[in-house]
Amino acid sequence: MNLSIETSTYTPENFYGKKDCTANEIVVLQSGKVVKGQLVKKDASGKIIPDDGVDVTTLYGIMAEDVDATTADKVGVCYINGSFQDSALTYPAGKTLEDYKDVFRTLGFEII
């Protein structure tokens, strides 16, 4: 009998903060990819699109998973409140936590 021990390294994901999260099933509009941690909003039809940062008050949530909607609308999961690490979030170009601080508070997000 030939026994061997395999070793590996596990690096935990630094995504969640200190309190529970609430997630909703959503539909991502056929328009490309959204990634876990990306800030998103709803379009006029109620489907999810990447937040462009033009009006931060339209923020809907934070993506809980990667969704590839390049060829068709796709179902995914989006956090609508909870606690997250700022470093794990993907903001629109030129935007930071400071730009979203008030809307995060209103929606029930805690960003640490």
- pLDDT tens by residue, 58-72: 999 999 999 999 999
| 77 within some domain | yes
The CATH number covering residue 51 comes to 2.40.300.10
d(CA 46, CA 84): 24
Q: What is the pLDDT of residues 42-96, one digit of tens each?
A: 999 999 999 999 999 999 999 999 999 999 999 999 999 999 999 999 999 999 9
Q: How many domains does the chain have?
A: 1
At 80 the pLDDT is: 95
- 67 assigned to some structural domain: yes
Over residues 4-39, the pLDDT tens digits come to 888 777 665 667 776 788 999 999 999 889 999 999
Question: Tokens 């969640």 belong to which residue?
Answer: 16
Write out the two tokens for 82. Answer: 């909870």
Task: Determine contact, residues 42/67, Cβ cutoff 8 Å.
Answer: no
Is residue 1 domain-resident? no
Question: Tokens in use for 100?
Answer: 């979203």
Give the residue numbers spanning the domain of 107: 22-111
Query: Which pLDDT band holds residue 3 (cuts at 50, 70, 90)?
Result: confident
Pairing of strands 32-34, 109-111: unpaired
Other CB atoms within 10 Å distance of the CB of residue 69:
20
